[in-house]
Amino acid sequence: MTQTYDHPEMPKQWVKGFVPTLNGTGSMFLVLDDYAKEFIEYSGNSGTPAAEIGCAYGIATIGALENGATVTACDMEPRHLQILRERTPENLRANLTTKVGKLPDIDLPDNTFGSLLCSRVLHFLYGDDVEKSVAKMYRWLKPGGRLFLVADTPYGIFRNFIPVFEERLANGARWPGEIEEPDHYLPFAVPDKSKGPQFLNLLCPDQLTRTAEEAGFVVERADFIARPDFSGWGHLDGRENSGLVAIKPV
């Protein structure tokens, strides 16, 4: 990829490799995981339109455009989309459509996309809204279209929440990862100006799988994702994110 990360409106990284969003909803990771990479490769080779929901500054969207895809990129923050458009190589801008909106309220045309990436967005939603959002993604994809999901888990930077999560899970909670004021569970202090969201719904592969299957998808795989780029934040065990690839049946 030919991307650069020196746009004047992009905040400085207070942790290397993580660019804060402009609306206090976390950061865009500069290191792409295997699910995002697969979306980029698949969308560029499928010959069908692609979509990214919650694209931030567009690292995956631009990768897909550079790989030959036509992409509809959506984000709740209009300034993110403006930065994305300005960062997109001029010769690829005709293949980029942007749309302001957030899950579960945003809507896109049904049966339109051959691939859809929603990376590190669903964990900002309450359980009911996760279900509504994935059901919409099912409608938006063409039959045979592929869904790529990535979410934060309690086993990453919020690992102080693990005992609560596992107790809830053992007691049969449907959404054991719902947390108010998640910053309290971080193993490091957060600068006031970088204070994150006041709610998270940390999701493991089992929750992603259940949600996708209930929406009608056939799950191809769902796994934990190791994030070695989190090094320096204490002990990690390779379960920092969770990912899923699912297919809308033909």
Q: How far apart are CA 112 and CA 243, in angstroms?
A: 23
pLDDT at 11 over 80: no
Phi, psi (deg, nearest 5) at residue 7: -60, 135
Cα Rg, the chain, nearest whole Å: 17
Nearest to 177 by CA among 144, 203, 149, 210: 203
What end-to-end distance do the CA atoms of the chain give, in Å?
33
Residue 169: pLDDT band (50, 70, 90) is: very high
Q: Return the H-helix or E-strand segment holding 181.
A: none
**Which of the two residues, 17 and 127, has the higher pLDDT score?**
127
Q: How far apart are CA 54 and CA 26, in angstroms?
A: 12
Q: How far apart are CA 3 and CA 148, in angstroms?
A: 22
Nearest to 54 by CA among 71, 70, 73: 73
Q: Go through the domains of the chain in sequence order and give each one's CATH number.
A: 18-154+202-247 (3.40.50.150)
* pLDDT tens digits for range 178-224: 999 888 887 766 665 556 678 999 999 999 999 999 999 999 999 99
The pLDDT assigned to 14 comes to: 58
